Each structure stands twice: as C-alpha cells, then as structure tokens.
Amino acid sequence: PPGVLESSMPLTWTGSCNLLVVTVATKETDGFRRFMRSARHFNYTIKVLGRGEPWKGGDYMTEPGGGQKVRLLKAGLQEMEEDKVVLFIDSYDVVFASGPKELLKKFQQTRHKVVFSAETLIWPDRHLEDKHPHFREGKRFLGSGGFIGYVPNLKEMVADWTGEDSDSDQLFFTKIYINPEKRKSINITLDNRCRMFHNLHGSLDEVVLKFEDGQVRARNVLYDTLPVVIHGNGPTKLQINYLSNYIPTVWTFETGCSVCLEDLRPLSGLKESEYPLVVIGIFIQQPTPFVSVFFETLLKLEYPKNRLKLFIYNQEQHHEVAVSSFLKDHGKEYQDVKVIGPEENMDRVASRNLGLDMCRQDKDCEYFFSMDIEVVLKNKDTLKILIEQNEPIIAPMITREGRLWTNFWGALSADGYYARSEDYVDIVQGRRVGVWNVPYLTKVYLVKASLLHEELSNNDLFSSGTLDLDMAFCHNARNKGVFMYVTNMHTFGRMLSTENYQMSHLHNDLWQIFENPKDWEERYIHENYTKIMRDKLIETPCPDVYWFPLFSDIGCDHIVQEMENFGQWSGGRNTDTRIQGGYENVPTIDIHMTQINYEKEWQKLLLDYIAPITETMYPGYYTKAQFDLAFVVRYKPDEQPFLRPHHDASTFTINIALNQKVLDYQGGGCRFIRYNCSVEAPRKGWALMHPGRLTHYHEGLRTTAGTRYIAVSFVDP
C-alpha cells in the first residue's frame, strides 16, 4: 500500500519513482501522524529509522543536538540501493505540499547530487557566517532538517560521522558545506530560493497560503516559488500547525474539510455498557447566572449516565443550593460523584489538577471532559461528537452572543497571549467549517485519558508563575507536542457573561436581560412567544383586547417569589408616597418594580417583547414603552379580593397572569364594562393588552379563594 511504514511491515510498494523518504521518529507523535497522512496523500515511500529507541538528540528549545539522526542515517544508508534518491527530513514538524514527481524534477534541475534546505538565520555557530558561499539571490545558510541526494553521495557525506547522539547535526553538515573541497567532491548546493524546502524559522512573513484547484500550497512570496516540503523548524511549531490545517488538501474551498471524517471512533451500535467511561469535571469559580439551567442541560446530555462520573468543584457559597439540589435529585444516576465545596478552601489550580487526577487514577476512565459553569451547551450530542472525532484534546466551539469571542485562539502573540489568526473570523462565523489545530482552548474541552498516563502524566498541569490556568495547561500540552483541536462542524452552544452579576436578590437571574439576553429569554419567555405571529396565537377575547403568551411558568414563579421575598406590600390605601402626587385613586395591594430595582429590566421587557405586538395589533401606533407605574398586584379574599371599575392612566395596559386559576386561586378575572365582556380564566404567563383610557373601563373580578397575582404596566401614560 502507498505510504507504508517500513519499520512496521515489509515495504510492498515502491512508488512511482526512484525516491525514498527517510525520517527519524523514535515515537509516534501527533506531528508524526500528520506527516504520514500528507506522505500517504502523495504516495511517497517512507522509511522510518529509530522506532522505539530513546531519543537522545535534544530538542529545539535546548542546546544544539540531533546527532542521533546522523548515526541512524549512516547505518540506514548501508542497506539502500545505490541508484536511489533519498529525501532525509524531519517528520514531527513537516508536511508535504506536493508529490514526489515535482520534488524529483526540481532536484534534477539543480544539477547537483545533494541539495540542502536553506535558512535565513545561521545556527548554531554564527562565527561561520563568512565561510558560507554567496548567492546572487536567496538564502545563504544550510538547514539540516531537510536534504535530498543520491545514496553514494549521501554515504560519502556521512562517512566521517563519529559524534555523540547529542552532538549537533546542523554543525556537522554546515562544516562539510563550508569546506570547498568537500562541497565540490560531494556536489552539494542549497535550495536557496525555497523551490523544494521551506524552513519557517526566520521567514514566516515570506509564506502565504495559495488555494488553487482543490489543493492548498504554501507560496513563498519573496521568490515566488511553491516549496514541496514545509518545515516548522525551531520555534515555529504553531505556524506549521496553522498551515497544516489546510496543506495539502486538509481544508479547501471546494471540498471543505476532507479529513474530518477520517479515523473516527464511532459510538453508534454500542451497548450502553460499552460506552467509554468519562469523568466530567464541572468548575464553579465565580458567581454565575443560570447555574440551575447548567445542571438541567447536563442531565439532558445524550450519554449513558452510568458511564459518567462527576467531579464538581464549587467555590461559591451562593451556588451551594443549586449544586446540592441537583445531587439530591439526580446524583445517584451517575456512576460516581465527587464534590469539593467552598468549605474546603481549595484553590483553582489544585481543583483542576485534582479533576484530571480523578480520571488518571481510574483505570477505566477513557476521557476527561472539562466544563466551566458558564458554558451553555445547547447540543445534547456534544460529548458523543467529541469522542467520535477521536482527537487527543478537542473542544466544541462555543461563542458569546453578538461577539467574536470564542473558547479558542487561532494564534498566539510572541509573549504567549491572544493573537488573531487570519482565518479566525471565518471559523467563528462558520464560513470555514472543520476541525482545527489551534494553540489554545478554554472553558470546555475533552482530553483522552491515555495522554494523562503518557505526555501529560505530570500531576501539576495548570500552574505557572505568569499564565492563567488554561494558558498553563495549553502551554504544557504544546510543549509535549500534543495537538489541540476545536471543531465548528456543529453548533454547540455559547458562553454566559458573568460580568455585572448581582447576588442581592432571591432570583438574581431575572436581572440578566441585558447581560445574557438569549439565556434570559430561554428561561423566562413563554416557549410559544416566538410563534405568536406565524401561528396566529394572539386571541381577541373582547373588542380591542389582545391575549398572548409572554412568560414561562418559571418566569411567573420567580417574579411572584421575588415580590413575596421582598415582602413590602402596600396597604391598598389611597395615600401612596411611591407615586407622583402621593394619591392613588384606585389603590391595589402591590409592589412596584422600582421597589425591587427592576424598572430598567422591565422597560427592556416591554420594548423587546410587547412593543412589536403593540405595533402589529394597533397599526400606526409606535411605543417607546415608557411607564410611570409597573407593579405586581396580589388579590386575596381576606385582603383585597377585587378592584372596582376604573380607567388606567395609560395609552395601553399590559396585564400578565402570574399564577394558575383553580390550582392557585378561585374566581378572579377582568371585566370590560362597556362591552360587558370578561376574561375569567386567565392563563398563567399570558398577557392581556388593552387601551387604558376612554374606551376600556374595566374592573378586577372577585378572587374567592387562594391568592391571585398579576403584573400590570401602564404604558405611555
């Protein structure tokens, strides 16, 4: 088969040409798998040296090394046929942008027997600069991460190697190249205009992606060349990761993502007991709105609960009720639950490490799914989708309503903070859809447990002197060569804003209409509100009186409970210091929205949800939803059972039933006297809208049992 690994099975395919690609890979990293995928795509024949050997050649962040590669190449060349052309390249940070035919053609055009990749920067010994030959155009310095040549010439070149594995291969080859006799005898030159090789270090600004005919190339704009081998040498690992989201055909405009459905781990067809065991880490680190909604969403995740264990870290006393209520009702449905509460005073770093450790110590745990409490996962299949994608670390892309903010970064700045990648906006806005290798993830992501035993076995992955938690975690993953991905192949959900979250009320979420309008709407607005116009849900129980669904049951309950918790009901007397003039002609027992500091939120409710209906039902009238009076009225048989006939001080009035007839009270309703027409069975959460003055003289009918609550607004007084 094409692209076969010689180290793991006999080479049964010799390719369409005389080229053998040789690389050193002591272990199979994410970078190596990427290299192999691009090699297979172009039918290269690959020979891997050093499989299973410990690596002693250093890395790009330490002193020069790489001698081990020369030793392995020297031994490997002894078994190779003399007429072969060998391409010797690194693999962990390399991708092919084109095939062997183009590479060989360009090699032959050089009319040399060995061609090295070229670099802008000299390394590791700057004192040798003057000894490098000059070119009329192009790069002067040798790069040892890629070279191509005939077997006899390569044998001659490495014949004198007697160095240690930790010695510098770059220095060894450089000294051969700058020696005029050896350079001539072996017949070496450099690919100085990047026709075959492009080393990214020192020349990032020379490279742009070129999309053409269903293929993606890296174009060198300085020399107007299309290199075949792209090498993220030195500190350019993130840039090769970015380019390899596209090169060679990973994502194109014609096909979209061509590899997103490869190497999947399908879960369909498995019995529940065969699903991978997942530890879900839930982290509550600051006061956050809609915590109870988070747990309701968690319950709806499409995944067998007996294959889930929960690790819950709650730093907020304020949220203890929501956590304990969820566990009391549903804790036993999960295989295991561990809770770290505020009383334990555990810091954030320790809690993250402990969560990962719960999975690491459990031999059955296959994944750790980390979720911050402010994540709103709307897609019930999120966990299944991420597992099936079968990546080392993967996040579902979540956004913040109306902003370009997401839970990933497309690039990093030089100091390791946020930088916007060229494709970031296209990915966020869904113009490019796929699974993207990125340098940073936060808020919600899935980690394979196998990593926790190998590359990420360190017990402290989250602490760093200068970086925050997730930056430290991602930094550690990157340094171990672990790839992190974000997928936007589905819509997954969004992120709550935790700014301006007040905790001084009973139901603080009611105040979130400005900060988190979408979540506020889903929680508090009636599920049929958006269908009002389409499905003609507006009823007309009396002339010019319109009746439509507005609040959800929870919305009604929270408003009533908030008012009862506040508790300062008026006495129902004519004298009322809360209103202008201090006198109320037709008093009720009520609490004004201003008393609980809810007037701004109430006006936004009227503007967003009432004004559009007003303008439809009363054509030609446009409201700014101004009001002096908006209040909740309480009717009780032994307190104030009814309200005498009256006009409202409004252009139009909104009257919302906040509880349920029969269940909560008997009697009640509203009678419009001029039309002798009554609405006697108000539906909970439904609003009555009617003109206030002149035509709609009305009365509140007697409540005969229980307690009835309504929310009334006199709009445009």
Catalytic site positions: 708
What is the C-alpha separation between 508 and 597, in angstroms, rounded? 12
Q: In the numeric block, which tokens belong to residue 608?
A: 């967003």
Give the HSE-up count for residue 323: Cα atoms under 13 Å, Cβ half-sphere.
Answer: 23
Whole-number Cα distances in Å, 562 to 321, 572, 600: 17, 20, 16
Contacts 24+ apart (CB under 8 A), 123-131: 123/64, 123/170, 123/234, 124/64, 124/168, 124/170, 124/171, 125/171, 125/174, 128/174, 128/175, 128/178, 131/178
CB 672 within 8 A of CB 542: yes
Q: Which residues pair with 371 in a beta bridge?
A: 282, 444
DSSP labels, 60-90: TTSSS-BHHHHHHHHHHHTTS-TT-EEEEE-
Peptide bond into 248 cis (omega under 30): yes
DSSP at 243: H
* Maximum distance among all Cα pairs of the chain, rounded to whole angstroms: 113
**Are the C-beta atoms of residues 194 and 223 closer than 8 Å to each other?**
yes
- Residue in this structure with the two tokens 């049992």, named with its chain if needed: 705
Strand 256-257, strand 277-284: pairing? unpaired
* Dihedral angle of Cα 296, 302, 308, 313, to the nearest 10 degrees: -30
3-state SS, one letter per residue, for 603-671: HHHHHHHHHHHHHHHCCCCCCCCCEEEEEEEEECCCCCCCEEEECCCCCEEEEEECCCECCCEEECCEE
With contact defined as beta carbons under 8 Å apart, do 289 and 510 qualify? Answer: no
Q: What is the DSSP secondary structure assignment for residue 674, as one 8-state letter?
A: G
Say if CB 381 and CB 472 are below 8 A apart.
Answer: no
Q: What single DSSP character describes residue 225?
A: B
CA distance 407 to 404: 10
Are the beta carbons of 265 and 388 closer than 8 angstroms? yes
Element housing 703 (H / E): strand 703-706
Q: Which residues contact 359 (CB under 8 A, 6 or more apart)?
A: 279, 365, 367, 368, 447, 449, 452
Classify residue 184 by burial, with Cβ atoms within 10 Å: 0-12, 13-18, 19+: exposed
Q: How far apart are the first and last CA of the chain?
A: 81
Q: Is 470:412 a contact under the CB 8 Å cutoff? A: no
| β-strand partners of 21 | 46, 87
Under DSSP, the state recorded for 601 is H
